[in-house]
Chain A
Amino acid sequence: MVPTLGRTLILLALLAASAGSIVGFATGARPSAAGWKWARRLAYAFAAFMALANLTMEYALLTHDFSVSYVAHVGSRAVPTWVSIVSLWSSLEGSILFWGLVMGVYVSVATWRKAGDHPEYMPYAVGVWLACGAFFSFLLAGPAQPFATIPNPALDGPGPNPLLQNHYLMVIHPPFLYSGYVGMTIPFGLACAALLVGRLGNDFIRPLRNFLLVSWIFLTCAIVLGGWWAYEVLGWGGYWAWDPVENASFLPWLTATAALHSAMLVERKGVLKGWTVILVLATYLLTILGTFMTRSGVFNSVHSFTQSAIGPTILVFLAAALLFSLVLLALRVDSLGSEGRLETGPSRDVMFLVQNLLFVLFTFTVLLGTVFPLVVEALRGAQMSVGRPYFDKLSVPIGVALLFVMGVGPALPWGRATKQQLRAALLPPLLGACVLAAVGFALGVRNLWTILALLFGGFTAQVTLSEMFLPVRQRMRARGEGFAEAFRQAQTRGRRRFGAYIVHAGAVVVIAAIAVSSTMGSSKEVQLNQGETTTLGPYQLTFAGAEQLSEPHRQSVLARVDVSKNGRSLGTLLPRMSQYENQREPIGSPAVHTGLTEDLYLSIHNFDGPSVGLLVLINPMVSWIWIATAIMALGGLVALVPSLRGSTAAAPAAGTAAVALEGSS
């Protein structure tokens, strides 16, 4: 019964999406009110069927209906209810079903919000969205069927991958990632619509940028949540390993970040329209590449889903989307035109370009490192992994250069800067640069790149803060307002600008924290008998004994480790090894004592009779990565709010200095 219902809903979603896509394109080509109405109805129908199919699957998971093939793969009576619920996205078929749900939500929200605006663009956009929706419905109807009927269902199932049952972050990381990934469909559809119409006006770049920003916020959080999950669960003490699947989420983030910046130049000066559209299209294509990477079994990664038949299908879709995008670009990119000219001298304009090129360079670097092993495999029949040295060597200079641009760009005025302006803009922040680098040096930083990161980080932090509060100071001076009033006024009037600088401030902290945590940590491995003590830095660790813990879905051995710092007790840390029902290998879970300046990280290697093998790490500043990401996401939200309300905080005329604008508004 349930499998049949599920399959019917999927087929109806496929039908609605395909029909809606055709109607959308047809209405775009020959506008008609009836066509547009039907395109919208079919978009909502697609979303509704997908939502119902997801509800059906949740019902099957919660009632342990093992006649549904997906439940038979990942369900288990032994797991807690929350694990049953999140099992929806714990394996291949379910994750694509969930993907369909997220897509339905995005498509219906975007259709609903923009239904009355942009009549010439929107039918095309709906057509593109639903074409993508039709593809994912097709995957669910055939190659990745979650609702196949199991004729003689077993009484119990194996439960999801134990790594996924191990931590609450696994509940939130995938939904964020899918919201980031799938959300890129919306700007993709809007950019394709702009190409199909042959125009990208100021009115249309704004919704494009807003939807891009929404997905960007989700993707930013998802990438860092993934790193956080790896840090809290995988037990090797790091948060980023340049694993192909981590790269898969990072690649579209890079192009999306570049596009968010170039979209500002489109809005402000009417230039870089084609370039921005290319970046938006590339972002979507990279999300599909990432989907292929995680789900084809081609890449060797901790994240890979099991090998499956959907690899070729996704590849065909990727190739088709690539071809569609390229042909569309080649035919129409010139018709987008350009309304202004970019400055060439030292100016904020040029720094925007430099920033964009650095992001694209970063994208190619990561893409090359990710795909290169496959090239070698195809040409030479041998395998390799490029490994961290390649990525570290190349990404560190690019990251530091981006930090530099993030400082110098906003410090410079729009348009060509005079020598005095340059001096006035670039000299004062050197103070921040020297202060931060000196503080780092005093605290023992000796790594050249880390010092450079702190130097540019200090510069950028000072520029960011002074730019953030510049309108506030101007109001206080010009109108005699108090700080609170001036702040409120300035930030409601210039919320986009304010949000952007919050993001920058967060980014500075993230980069500095990464630089410090990756070069300033210390570690040690010890084998401790019960009662034995070891020290690392200011920490004393005493192995107080092992403890067995029995839960329905797992048996765990915990090591009780009493921790004190400089003689003051910090309590007991409990790293564990867990043996899950129906799984062969035990899974280790580290224990982390999180602090603002550093984390103490304990991970069990082995239990050898009465003694325990422990990996002990001191990871400085890691929590700042999580905190600063929250700041970045907050900044993104701040930048989003006024534009959602339709008020335009800052829509400056080309070439006007931002300063004058914000101050006089």
Chain B
Amino acid sequence: MATALTSASAPRVNRRVLVAGLAIALPLVAVLVANLGRDPHSVRSPLIGRPAPPFRLVPVGGGAPVALESLHGKPVVINFWATWCVPCFQEHAALVEAARSLPAVQFLGIVYEDDEAQTGEFLRQRGTAYASLMDKDGKTAIAYGVFGVPETFFIDPEGRIVEKHVGPLDRGAILSLVARARGGGR
């Protein structure tokens, strides 16, 4: 758009302004059109129905690494979260409570782009009922296709992803999604 800086005196079509403008405007409008009418809360993930990507991660504050394979046989709920994420603290209490009331279900947190000390402090202050794992290089988040937090995956006893939820969870949503993970999908 710097073309405007070197303007010629003869009036004619300024192709550079037109092309630069269209290069910005067309994709923008196209994206907005493509997104019209969608519900920002609904989710479609290509991972649903597929085996959950394996991981082996160390909990916040240290300890023995947790591997997903070792949890086969029971439903698993994996919550990607961070301390900088406001919806994550909204759902934290609901998750902790669900984890306490559902001992047959394995809950796990995976920390997304956050600092270990800060995360530890957050968990110490708010309490927790399950391990949160440090995903230091972000590889697990990438494998799960996590785009933002919070995102929560519900995995059935055979290790397949049954559901993915974006945004904060409440107790009702956790219970119904866990029920699906128990039933091994729909």
Q: How far is the CB of B69 from chain A (nearest CB, A)?
A: 25
B125 at the interface (CB under 8 A from A): yes
Contact B84 A315 (CB under 8 A): no
Q: How far is the CB of B128 from chain A (nearest CB, A)?
A: 13
B66 at the interface (CB under 8 A from A): no
A79 at the interface (CB under 8 A from B): no
Contact A389 B21 (CB under 8 A): no
Task: Tell me whether A315 and B11 are in contact in the complex, defined as CB-CB below 8 angstroms, given that A326-B21, A384-B148, A388-B84 are known contacts.
Answer: no
Interface bits B77-90 vs A (CB < 8 Å: 1, else 0)? 00000001110010
Contact A374 B35 (CB under 8 A): yes
Partner among A198, A277, A297, A311 whose Cβ is within 8 Å of the Cβ of B11: A198
Residues of B within 8 A of A377 (CB): 34-35, 38
B22 at the interface (CB under 8 A from A): yes
Contact B18 A326 (CB under 8 A): yes
Interface bits B40-82 vs A (CB < 8 Å: 1, else 0)? 1101111000000000000000000000000000000000000
A299 vs B85: C-alpha distance when bound (angstroms)? 17
Residues of B within 8 A of A319 (CB): 29
B142 at the interface (CB under 8 A from A): no
Residues of A within 8 A of B39 (CB): 297, 307
Interface bits B1-44 vs A (CB < 8 Å: 1, else 0)? 11111011111111101100110010111111111111111011
Interface bits A297-339 vs B (CB < 8 Å: 1, else 0)? 1111000100100011001001100110111011111111110
Task: Tell me whether A275 and B4 are in contact in the complex, defined as CB-CB below 8 angstroms, given that A241-B86, A330-B18 are known contacts.
Answer: yes
Main secondary structure of the interface of A (DSSP, over half): helix
A312 vs B37: C-alpha distance when bound (angstroms)? 9
Contact B17 A333 (CB under 8 A): yes
Q: How far is the CB of B32 from chain A (nearest CB, A)?
A: 6
B158 at the interface (CB under 8 A from A): no
Residues of A within 8 A of B116 (CB): none
Residues of A within 8 A of B14 (CB): 329-331, 333-334
Task: Tell me whether A334 and B40 are in contact in the complex, defined as CB-CB below 8 angstroms, given that A272-B5, A322-B25, A384-B147 are known contacts.
Answer: no
Contact A371 B36 (CB under 8 A): no
Contact A300 B41 (CB under 8 A): yes
Partner among A299, A326, A381, A525 whose Cβ is within 8 Å of the Cβ of B25: A326
B105 at the interface (CB under 8 A from A): no
Partner among A334, A385, A606 whose Cβ is within 8 Å of the Cβ of B12: A334
Residues of A within 8 A of B125 (CB): 524-525
B145 at the interface (CB under 8 A from A): yes
A299 vs B34: C-alpha distance when bound (angstroms)? 13
Task: Tell me whether A387 and B36 are in contact in the complex, defined as CB-CB below 8 angstroms, given that A278-B1, A330-B18, A337-B7 are known contacts.
Answer: no
A33 at the interface (CB under 8 A from B): no
Contact A378 B22 (CB under 8 A): no
Contact A315 B145 (CB under 8 A): no
Contact B21 A382 (CB under 8 A): no
Residues of B within 8 A of A389 (CB): 84, 113
Interface positions, chain B 111-151, Cβ under 8 Å from A, are 113, 125-126, 145-149
B96 at the interface (CB under 8 A from A): no
Residues of A within 8 A of B167 (CB): 300
Contact A386 B148 (CB under 8 A): yes
We find that the number of chain B residues with CB closer than 8 angstroms to chain A is 53
Contact A333 B4 (CB under 8 A): yes
Partner among B5, B27, B29 whose Cβ is within 8 Å of the Cβ of A275: B5
A347 vs B28: C-alpha distance when bound (angstroms)? 36
Interface positions, chain A 258-279, Cβ under 8 Å from B, are 271-275, 277-278
Contact B148 A296 (CB under 8 A): no
A376 at the interface (CB under 8 A from B): yes
Residues of A within 8 A of B29 (CB): 315, 318-319, 322
A45 vs B151: C-alpha distance when bound (angstroms)? 53
Residues of B within 8 A of A386 (CB): 148
Residues of A within 8 A of B2 (CB): 275
A465 at the interface (CB under 8 A from B): no
Contact B17 A330 (CB under 8 A): yes
A202 at the interface (CB under 8 A from B): no
A325 vs B22: C-alpha distance when bound (angstroms)? 11
Contact B166 A292 (CB under 8 A): no
Contact B13 A311 (CB under 8 A): no
Partner among B4, B28, B93 whose Cβ is within 8 Å of the Cβ of A371: B28
Residues of B within 8 A of A289 (CB): 28
Nearest 8 pairs between A and B by C-beta?
A384-B147, A274-B4, A300-B40, A385-B148, A330-B18, A378-B34, A335-B11, A326-B21
**Sample of 5 more A-B contacts, CB < 8 Å, known A275-B5, A332-B11, A383-B147:** A241-B86, A329-B18, A374-B34, A381-B44, A386-B148
Interface of A toward B, CB cutoff 8 Å = 198, 236, 241, 271-275, 277-278, 289, 292, 296-300, 304, 307, 311-312, 315, 318-319, 322-323, 325-327, 329-338, 342, 360, 371, 373-378, 380-389, 524-525, 605-606
- Can you name 14 A-B residue pairings with CB atoms under 8 Å? A198-B11, A236-B86, A271-B5, A275-B2, A277-B4, A298-B40, A326-B21, A329-B14, A334-B14, A371-B31, A375-B27, A381-B45, A387-B85, A525-B126
